[in-house]
Every structure is written in structure tokens, then in C-alpha cells.
Structure 1
């Protein structure tokens, strides 16, 4: 591995680029990259769990639940992520700081004094609003015949939702979920503004010490690589999970032509 890294630095130097910058800050950029991926992964998973009750509340016949879900989604989709991060980092931080002794007694202060966890909270709340709308759209796109067919088979509403509606809704929503993942990855750079040493945070540090614009160039390349990898993996995942649809399409076309 060390030999490959040395060879890469040599190629960078031969290309007329600043290899010293990568030699000094390359390991830190990779550490920031790992923190970025961890931040996005945690936010997406926690946001997905939170989006289920929000989406169900959004479709509820209860006006209060529907109104609360609508207000939540409208706020987090209608305000900038940066404002949400600052609001949670400063507002929640001030509130928790006022009760510092309580959290120290509970052994949780180490968790609450780190900007990374505030960023996770802000990102989770933000993506949950988007994922709730994605899920709601997937559910409402299904024909009512799916529910009626489940009732005809003697299934109750919970079984119909869990075994019939939800799997199909998630299948329909695969592409929007992939887009949301890519958007969250690019938006993760906002976390650098609350002292989180993720990829963009390390890049800003490198630039402030070297004033070399190549720091941002290498970061942009890393983001491009990550987005390309996610898009490629998501395409493979979509084809894998919807392979039965592709197999059915030629048969459907042949049947239509026969008639």
C-alpha cells in the first residue's frame, strides 16, 4: 500500500501538481472522507427509520397527525440545511450546556460536546423529511387494487401494508432514494462549518495553511468518485431488485402484439 501511495505521489509530481500537498494532507483527507461517509450513512439510516412514522402520519385520516407531519416536512424542506445545522448546533447546544452537570452525571456530555453528533441530528431530521415524501409518493403511486386484493385474501391492514404495499413502494422509490443519498453526500460539506473534521473541513484546513487551490481540486475529485460509485452501485442494485420486471416486459410486449 505504501508503495502504491509513493508511486501515486510520483505521478502527481511528474504531472506538475503539488505532490507535497498530498504527502502532507493526503492521510487527513482520507480520514475526513471516512468521517463524511460515516456521517452520511448514519443520517440516511436514522432518517429512513424516522421517515416511516412521518409518512404514515402524513397520510393519516387524523387531521392533527396529518398537520404535524405536514408542518415538519414543510419546515425541513423549506429552510436551508445550513440554517438547520446552525439552529441545532447553537440552539440545542446552548440548552444542553445549561444542563451540563446533569449530562455529566449521566455520562453523556462527551457525546453532546462533539459537533459531529449535532451534525448527525441535523442531517437526520433533514433527510427524514425528504425520505418521508419519497415514501409517501411511492405508496400513493400504487393502485387501490393492491389493497383490495389483500382484503380479498383475508389479510388485515397491517399485513397488507407490510407484505404488499411497502415492498412495492420501496421498489418504486429506489431511484429517488439514490438521488437523496447523493444529495446528502454533497450536502455533508456543511458540517465543516460546525467544526466537524470531515472531508471539506480538512480541505479548508489544508487551504488555510498552504493557500494552494489544489486542495479543493483533490476534494472535488474525491466527491466525483464517490458520486460515480454510488450511482453505479445503485444502478446495479435497482436492476437486481427489479429483475423480475425486466423479465416480464418482453412477455408483456409479445402478448400485446399477439392481440
Structure 2
């Protein structure tokens, strides 16, 4: 048993690192794009709102694996066009296709999360800022966005966890992430415990992320803690729990 673990450990660790890398890159890029997309999403004009709604409906309403196939295999149908545009080198790489698909999928979910958070900001605070003559740019920078990110923080953590686990489908297009390396190791040994070790590694990664996210959440909500001389500190606003595996 020890010999078998020593044999597959390098493969699983390599795959785990690639899984973390794909998740972090796709989620971070999606987070950067989610803010402007959510602002377009809440505009009254259909010219700005409708394209974002269609995008969100598609990526939230279809399976992630179907989206991955559309990007990876579907791009081959447009190879001449992509070659003329100089994009074929990007789309021929399964790693790039996985990153693009996961980024777009996460963007759809994060946009809706941010949209709900922005619309949940207390209208009284916004009116108070406007009554002081604050411009919209300053209003969003100092009032709306800080409050919106505090509101959306637990949900964003859940989205990161879901993307980490859902990203296992990348192995079907030959991306050697944790699940891809697990399938490779299993094909060489036919030992079913290989999948148990992979599941344990996913559990370790997600648990570590949840713990780190909870520390970040406590820091973010530190101003909501009131202290009593006779009682331990109690959190005033008990928001929804952070992401769980």
C-alpha cells in the first residue's frame, strides 16, 4: 500500500496544483469582470441590460460540461476563421479552453451575486450620500461597492468552492488536473482506492479554502462585533454561513 501511494502521489500532487491554478485564475478573472457586468445588469436601459441577461441565462442554465465541449470541440468547426484571426493557437490548447469556459461560467454566477448585493445596499445610505452632493463615482466607490462586497462575500466563497469541484470536468478534454491524473493513475493500476485518495485531496483543498475564507470574513466583519464588559464578543449581524464543502 505504501509503495502504491508513493507511486501515485507525485501524479496527484501535480494534478492538485493544476486544479488550484485553473480555479484561481478563472475565478479571479471572473471577479474582475463581474463588477462592470453587474452594473450593466441593473441598468434601466435594455440596451445594456439585455445582453448581460442573455449571457447569464445561458451559462447558468446549461451544464458546465456542455459549455466546455462547445468551446473545445466547437472551436474546431471554425478553425479557418480562428487561424485568420490568429486565435487558433489559443483554442487548440485544452488548458486554454478550460480556463475560458470556467471563467465565463463563474462570471455568470458572480455577476448575479454582485447584482443582488448591489441592489441589497440600504437605500437610506445612498440617499444620504446623494443629499450631500456626492457624485455617482464616489457613491459607488465609498458607499455601494464596500457594502455590496460585504454582503456578497459568503456567496462568493460558495462560488469558488463550486468552481473548484466542478472544474473536475476539465479532465474529459485531456487536461491533467487532479481528476485527470487520477484517471491516468487508475488506468495503470485499476486500484479503486486511487479515487479515494483523489477525493481526500479535494476535501483537503476545499477545507483549507473554507478555513481561509472564514478568517477573511471575520476580518471583513470585524466592525460588526460589539463588546460587553461581562460577556464575550457577540456578532451583531449574523449573516449566512461561509462556503461549506
Distance change in 2, residues 1:252/1:231 (3 Å): closer
TM-score, scaled to structure 2: 0.89
Closer, same or farther: CA 210–218 of 1 in aligned 2, 3 Å: same
| Residue in structure 1 matched with residue 60 of structure 2 by the alignment | 77
**Paired residue for 2:31?**
48
> 1:176-230 CA distances to partner (integer Å, 9 max, x unpaired)?
0110011001001010011100000000011111110111000000011111111
Report the alpha carbon displacement of residue 142 of structure 1 after superposing the two structures with TM.
1.2
Q: Classify the secondary structure of the residue corresponding to 1:173.
A: helix
Quick one: which of 72, 77, 81 aligns to 1:89?
72
Q: In the alignment, which of 10, 20, 29 is matched to residue 3 of structure 2?
A: 20
Structure in which a larger fraction of residues adopt helix: 1
**TM-score for both structures, normalised by structure 1:** 0.84
Native 8 Å contact 1:21 1:215 kept in 2 = no
Greater Rg by CA: 1
Q: Aligned Cα RMSD in Å?
A: 2.0
Shift of 1:49: 1.6
Contact 1:25 1:206 in 2 (8 A): yes
Secondary structure of the equivalent of 2:226? Answer: helix
1:152 aligns with 2:126: no
For residues 125 and 100 of structure 1, what CA distance do their matches in structure 2 show?
A: 19
- Structure 1 gaps, min length 5: 1-17, 254-259
Deviation, 1:110, is: 4.5
The CA deviation at 1:248 is: 7.5
Cα pair distance change 1:28/1:130, threshold 3 Å: same
CA distance in 1, matches of 2:81, 2:195: 39
Partner of 1:141: 120
Aligned to 2:241: none
